[in-house]
Structure 1
Amino acid sequence: MNTPIIQNLDLVAQGKVRDIYAIDQDHILLVTSDRMSAFDVVLPDPIPNKGEVLTQLSLFWFEQTENIVANHLSNNFMLEDLIQNQSEIDYFKKRSMVVKRLHPLPIEAVVRGYLIGSGWKDYQANGSVCGIELEDNLQMAAQLPEPIYTPATKAEFGEHDENITYETTVDILGEDLANRVRN
């Protein structure tokens, strides 16, 4: 997977791009690797320093929006308190965040402005995306008249996300939460 393992923390999950280590029952260490994922596939060649760049961008935007929306960042632990090995500290410092342990929603909220990727595949198969009928004869990457909400399942590592209808989202999340996610 091209990312060193932190020796003294429990690796509890490894996604396509991020690794999750347990700190305690309320906090985790979220590490962004240099792995590259496209269309739910981890590509063989990592991008050097990608994890650092993504983490620093995330931290920047969390800081910029902290007065607008709550986020999961926590300052309860410093990396130096969690890792004893200096070479591990040096490697993970710019690519990791201590965050509150939350329960993620089992869906992805995707808004599409263009007919591309899995949306294009769905359209080719049945003329719709996530149950939303689209006009005939659209071309790949066509701009849609207005953005559409196209939820998907959140697949486990090695699996592919699956586009679902809004009604299926309601079945999974309940009507109130599905509506909040969509809007």
Structure 2
Amino acid sequence: MTNPLEIPGFAHVYSGKVRDLYAPLAADGTVVADRLMLVASDRMSAYDWVLETPIPDKGAVLTRLSLWWFDQLKDLVPNHVVSTEVPDVVAGRAVIVRKLEMLKVEAIARAYLTGGGLEEYRATGSVCGVHLPEGLEDGSRLPEPVFTPTTKAPVGEHDLPMTPAEVAAELGADTAAEVSELTRAILARGNEIAAERGILIADTKVEFGREPGAPAGRGGLVLADEVLTPDSSRFWPADRWQPGRTQPSYDKQYVRDWLTSPESGWSKASGEAPPPLPEAVVAGTRAKYVEAYERLTGESF
């Protein structure tokens, strides 16, 4: 992972797989306690590895798309964005946000069955304790979006599926129910909007937090991090959707497919870091991210 930028007026706090957090500094050099700057890098992660090859403009695409979606979702749930006025060195790929106490659950909803959910369904007939109808295949549309949360593992470790009971034990029953409702509502709203633009959103991951000191229970949840981006969601072209096979996509599945192809020479089971991405895969991935942004927002990147 590359070293974080030195940004005057900000102290580096943390680097995740693809994002860096900075704390604003007051005039006397002390940390501003209730604000953070969230910077989206061009790093790409896949199969719990941070790849050594960046994807140009990826951070800017994800930031602009998240801001657009936050606006489409503001009647459902408040979000953490305070300002887009950031230092020039990270302009376009950073936002100033409220500092929240983050919930220790990856909130995932699925409208279609694929990926890890499909593997679990084939083994058990259910996903995260949610029983699903028989006869589903790769790409099948589910009767309604289901909540399939996972643990929030540290960088380099695997997120693990959580049952409803485990989520309730972690968050409390009221908060767990609200997280489930909001996550499914965000995916449903996303699909309403995306369908008009020829895109299906198969599944998505979102994160929630609370203002520090806010009481537990219902109410007070804030949508944080990113929302309905090609990094946090699977986007499929609607006109090419065909259950029973792997779907073409606008997301990082393109990178995953190359990594697991004979061409890469890499095995997920090897325990070794993935190889660098070839130029064609980098260019193709950037093009897919930009196309998803432009189709969804109607704006030119």
In the superposition, the TM-score normalised over structure 2's length comes to 0.52
CA RMSD of aligned residues (A): 2.3
Is 1:37 the counterpart of 2:65? The answer is no
Which amino acid in the other structure matches residue 45 of structure 2?
Answer: S
In structure 2, relative to structure 1, the CA distance for the partners of 1:30 and 1:177 (3 Å cut) is same
- Match in the other structure for 1:83: none
Aligned sequence identity (%): 45
Which 10-residue stretch deviates more, 15-24 or 58-67? 58-67
Matched, 1:52 2:53: no
Alignment of 1:156 onto 2:154: yes
Matched, 1:5 2:5: yes
Q: 1:99 aligns with which of 89, 97, 100?
A: 97
Quick check: 2:85–2:95 contact (8 Å CA) kept in 1?
no
1:34-183 correspondence to structure 2 within 5 Å: 34-66=42-74, 69-75=77-83, 78-80=85-87, 89=88, 91-183=89-181
- What SS class does the counterpart of residue 79 from structure 1 fall into? coil
Number of matched residues? 173
- 3-state SS of paired residue (2:136): coil
Alignment-mate amino acid for residue 155 of structure 2: F
| C-alpha distance in structure 1 between counterparts of 2:145 and 2:76, whole Å | 24
Q: CA deviation at 1:111?
A: 1.3
CA 1:78–1:174: 2 relative to 1, 3 Å: same
Q: Return the offset for 1:58.
A: 2.0
Residue in 1 that maps onto 2:23: 22
**Structure 1: unaligned runs, 5 residues or longer:** 81-88
Report the Cα distance in structure 1 between the residues aligned to 2:158 and 2:125, rounded to whole angstroms.
21
Greater Cα shift, 161-170 or 32-41? 32-41
Structure 2: tracts of 5 or more residues without a match: 25-31, 182-301
Separation in structure 2 between the aligned mates of residue 127 and residue 72 of structure 1, nearest angstrom: 37
Q: Deviations over 1:109-149 (max 9, x none)?
A: 21112221111221233222101223445323333233211
Distance in 2 between residues matched to 1:15 and 1:106, nearest whole Å = 15
Taking structure 1 as the reference length, the TM-score comes to 0.82
Moved more, 165-174 or 126-135: 126-135
CA distance in 2, matches of 1:174, 1:67: 24
